[in-house]
Amino acid sequence: MKIRLFSPLSEKLGFKEKEIHLAAPIKIKDIELLSKVQLEDYLISKNKKEVVKPDAEVCDQDELWLLPIVDGG
Amino acid sequence: MIKLETRFYGYAGKILEVDLEDERFKSTPLNNRWVELYVGGGGYATRILYDLIDETIDPLSPENPLIVMTGPFTGLAAISPKTAVATRSPLTGFLAKSMSSGSFGTVLKRSGYDGVIIRGKAKTPVFISIINNKPSVLDAKSLWGKGTFETSKLIKEELKSSKVKVAMIGPAGENLVKISSIITDERRAFGRTGVGAVMGSKNLKGIAVSGNLKIPVLDEKKLIELNKRHLFIAPTTSRGGGLKAYGTGGGIISGMQVGNLPIKNWTLGVWEGAEKITTQTFMEKYKLGSGMKVCGENVTCSIQCERAIEMNDPEYGRSKGKGPEYETLAALGSMTLVDDIEGIIRANDLCDDLGLDTISTGVVVSWAMEAYEKGMLDASDTGFSLRWGDVGSLIRIIRMIAYREGFGATLSDGVKAASEKVGRGSESFAVHVKGLEVPMHNPRLYNTMGVLYAVSNIGASHLQGMGVLVERGLLLPEYGIDSIPKDIASKTRTELIQQSLCAFADSAGLCKFGVFGVIDFNHIAETFNAITGRSEDKNSVLKIGDRIWYLERMLNGKLGLKTEDDRLPERFVKEAVKEGPAAGFVCPIEELLPEFYRARELDPVSGQPSAQKLKELELDI
């Protein structure tokens, strides 16, 4: 699966985009790569069309974006 | 600082009246009763307008007053830099009210006046200067035709002070462009409803203020304590922290993910370009890790949502200063499919320098691009191709709008007038309410915005009721809104409370970014009391907001408003996008509006409140 981060989280974790392999579906909060991230502080978008919670399940085909919680002007 | 003698805590205590016809000034004390009922800012200015205008007054005539008005919070409370401009709008024909941040209002108060009422028309271009209680009218012939960036520099030079704050028009206002703004020297804008054209119609280039008078507050110690608390809490909240980290423009990419972002004049739900124009991208590109700043010199704010940019682009040249915000990035970017961030920064600079509202400009250009694509316009109408995503055309047409050149003249009167002129069915995708172009929040998915746009007293505005924030989870538990509104009754309740709180904020001088999702209205009421000595609580603050909302509605009734003006554009009601989180949704406005009228106790035919309601709110004027 693909994980996309935005600044400054991308700077904190040292990558903007990374592909990881998931052998089986897993909860977002259990993804090791994101273990140091306070997931509740981000808007998590799944496959660019659905906003999900940290305990949502994802599989190898999915794409996750961790976005800042900002609602515009 | 010199302490000001005043009868009112939190106010300078008087208003300056200027007649440009014969350059006469009059200083009028604030009206006690009006301060009590309408607070200041937008509310007080609307009350002044109520007595001065009616349906016969042409918005661009000398008789239409232009009012600048601060509130008691302006420059005194934390995150409260707001100042109102009110007049009759040349764009809508109804109330024009536009709020600006920055230092202008704070310095106006320190110059000795809470507000300025400008009437008449100068014989030749002038600007008004108010320095420590001393007003004068100065020649501006050499400034006429200049952009706002140069004008502000020249006025400061002429007045020999870099501390002077200026609110001025560019060529768009001078050319009576109905989507023109008044821009401040800090690049903040009284952006909406065509107030720039009203200033231009008076041959008035700008207002310059300077002063060091100290505005008295009732309980300074308490106010400092409350301000400290507000400043501490604000960036620790998700809303305040998000704005601090990314500015409003960070909402582009997240806005698309939650179905809020308008794309291609509201016809698409997903767009690859969003990632290229969101603030995170230009923060990374221009290393803006610490690019946040306050919106004005004297502004006390711990959110600091402004993004300062320094760009030196081979194609677009140098840009230094305020970067584009969410509304601008969406209006000039996703609405037109322009994904060239440097091009958008250039277009934003141009709009500020020429004095154009970026929201209205983006909407009217995207309407023209759609009409061009559909063959309702061709190059013989426009003078050149006007295709989606063409940044060159966007920049070219912005100049033409400001100078009313060629096809730009058609767009300069706003999307309603342009679509009525072009016809050929283009009215169906002209996205406006009462003539004011719709801002960048999706009423198909966030239905409260549909009603709030439709019934707004100034036309489609996202700041006359921020229902989208509540629907996104920024609740108002102190008013009993402790879950996201799902049914019609709870949506209606959200709409009413949001409208009234926004009307109060516009009258007090509060920045809405520093309140909703940041701090509750118990705190705001306490701050109000510490400044003024009043005894308000969250409920009485809401009631004041109610009163001001109805006053605005009454003024619009006087200006000819009917219920058929409370309409939402067809595009939101009949057409859904096919992809993204908003796919398949339309706004059920016909179900929502009757409930709103019922809850607001408005007559379903006239749209006006009953005599009993007016008496209850002490509005039996």
Among the ranges given (B75-84, B225-234, B281-290), the one the predictor scored with the smallest mean pLDDT:
B281-290
CB B583: neighbour CB atoms within 10 A? 15
Q: How far apart are CA B568 and CA B570, in angstroms?
A: 6
Counted across chains A and B, CB pairs separated by less than 8 A come out at 86
**Predicted pLDDT of residue A73:** 67
- Dump the DSSP string for B62-78: TTS-EEEEE-TTTTTST
Domains defined along chain A, listed by start? 2-68 (3.10.20.30)
For residue B484, the 8-state DSSP code is: -
Question: A45: nearest CA in chain B?
Answer: B257
**Predicted pLDDT of residue B287:** 67
**% of chain B beyond a pLDDT of 90:** 90
Q: How far apart are CA B418 and CA B179, in angstroms?
A: 12
- Per-residue confidence at A51, pLDDT binned at 50, 70, 90? confident
Beta partners for B67? B86, B117
First CA to last CA across chain B, in angstroms? 40
- Per-residue confidence at A68, pLDDT binned at 50, 70, 90? confident
CA A42 from chain centre, in angstroms, equals 9
First CA to last CA across chain A, in angstroms? 33
Pairing mode of beta strands B126-131, B204-210: parallel
> Distance, in angstroms, between B449 CA and closest chain A CA?
14
- Dump the DSSP string for B316-348: TEEEEEEPP-HHHHIIIIITTT---HHHHHHHH
Residue A68 to residue B283, Cβ atoms within 8 A: no
- Dump the DSSP string for B410-465: HHTTHHHHHHHHH-TTGGGG--EETTEEP-SS-TTTSHHHHHHHHH-BTBS-TTS-
Pairing mode of beta strands B165-168, B95-100: unpaired
What is the average per-residue pLDDT within B322-339? 96
Q: How far apart are CA B351 and CA B402, in angstroms?
A: 8
**Predicted pLDDT of residue B4:** 58
Of residues B262 and A11, which shows the higher confidence score?
B262
Residue (of B412, B426, B432) closest to B361 by Cα position: B412
Of residues A73 and B352, which shows the higher confidence score?
B352
Residue B1, Cβ density class (10 Å: 0-12 exposed, 13-18 middle, ≥19 buried): exposed
Residue B124, Cβ density class (10 Å: 0-12 exposed, 13-18 middle, ≥19 buried): exposed
Same fold, B2-214 and B236-430: no
**Predicted pLDDT of residue B355:** 98
Contacts of B100 in chain A (CB under 8 A): none
- Per-residue confidence at B291, pLDDT binned at 50, 70, 90? low
pLDDT of A42 over the 90 cut: no
pLDDT of B2 over the 70 cut: no
pLDDT of B567 over the 80 cut: yes
pLDDT of B279 over the 70 cut: yes
What is the average per-residue pLDDT within B191-197? 98
- Per-residue confidence at B45, pLDDT binned at 50, 70, 90? very high
What is the average per-residue pLDDT within B572-583? 96
**Predicted pLDDT of residue B574:** 97
Residue (of B390, B370, B254) closest to A6 by Cα position: B254
CB B97 within 8 A of CB B84: yes
> Distance, in angstroms, between A9 CA and closest chain B CA?
10
Q: Which of A2, A4, A7 to substitute to test the interface with B, most B CBs within 10 Å?
A: A7
> Under an 8 Å CB criterion, which residues of B touch A?
238-239, 241-243, 245-258, 260, 270, 278, 280, 283-284, 289, 325-327, 330, 440-441, 462, 468-469, 472, 474, 513, 579-581
Q: How far apart are CA B98 and CA B86, in angstroms?
A: 7
> Distance, in angstroms, between B34 CA and closest chain A CA?
31
Among the ranges given (B302-316, B344-358, B402-416, B568-582), the one the predictor scored with the smallest mean pLDDT:
B302-316
Looking at the partner chain, which of A48, A49, A71 has a beta carbon nearest the beta carbon of B469?
A71
Looking at the partner chain, which of B241, B257, B441 has a beta carbon nearest the beta carbon of A72?
B441
Looking at the partner chain, which of A6, A41, A72 has a beta carbon nearest the beta carbon of B326?
A72
CATH 3.60.9.10 at B2-214, yes or no: yes
Q: How far apart are CA A3 and CA B66, in angstroms?
A: 53
Q: Which of B257, B275, B281, B484 to substitute to test the interface with A, most A CBs within 10 Å?
A: B257
Where do the structural domains in chain B lie, given as residue ranges? 2-214, 236-430, 447-616
**Predicted pLDDT of residue B288:** 66
Mean pLDDT of chain B: 96
pLDDT of B157 over the 80 cut: yes
CB B194 within 8 A of CB B178: yes
- Per-residue confidence at B308, pLDDT binned at 50, 70, 90? confident
Whether complex ipTM tops 0.85: no
Residue (of B104, B53, B110, B114) closest to B508 by Cα position: B114
Looking at the partner chain, which of B257, B462, B472 has a beta carbon nearest the beta carbon of A67?
B257
Pairing mode of beta strands B24-29, B14-19: antiparallel
Q: Which residues lie closer than 8 Å to B422 by C-beta, 6 or more apart?
A: B371, B376, B377, B381, B410
Question: B269: nearest CA in chain A?
Answer: A49
For residue B377, the 8-state DSSP code is: S
**Predicted pLDDT of residue B423:** 98
- Is cis: bond before B485, omega within 30 of 0? no
**Predicted pLDDT of residue B6:** 60
Pairing mode of beta strands A2-5, A63-68: parallel
CB B49 within 8 A of CB B95: yes
As given in the structure block, the two tokens for residue B116 are 């300025």
According to CATH, the topology of domain B447-616 is 1.10.599
Residue B289 to residue A11, Cβ atoms within 8 A: yes
Helices (H) and strands (E) in chain B, counts: 26, 19
Q: How far apart are CA B480 and CA B490, in angstroms?
A: 10
**Predicted pLDDT of residue B25:** 98
> Distance, in angstroms, between B120 CA and closest chain A CA?
35
> Distance, in angstroms, between B326 CA and closest chain A CA?
5
> Distance, in angstroms, between A38 CA and closest chain B CA?
12
Residue B289 to residue A8, Cβ atoms within 8 A: yes
Mapped onto helix, strand or coil, the DSSP state of residue B129 is strand
> pTM for this one?
0.96
**Predicted pLDDT of residue B462:** 97
HSE-CB of B614 using CA atoms within 13 angstroms = 14
**Predicted pLDDT of residue B418:** 98
**Predicted pLDDT of residue B234:** 95
**Predicted pLDDT of residue A69:** 73
Residue (of B602, B249, B310, B162) closest to A72 by Cα position: B249
Alpha helices per DSSP H over B23-98: 32-38, 41-52
- Per-residue confidence at B555, pLDDT binned at 50, 70, 90? very high
pLDDT of B375 over the 70 cut: yes
- Per-residue confidence at B119, pLDDT binned at 50, 70, 90? very high
- Per-residue confidence at B5, pLDDT binned at 50, 70, 90? low
Question: A11: nearest CA in chain B?
Answer: B284
**Predicted pLDDT of residue B22:** 95
**Predicted pLDDT of residue B533:** 96
According to CATH, the topology of domain B236-430 is 1.10.569
Residue B579 to residue A49, Cβ atoms within 8 A: yes
Q: How far apart are CA B128 and CA B109, in angstroms?
A: 15
**Predicted pLDDT of residue B310:** 85
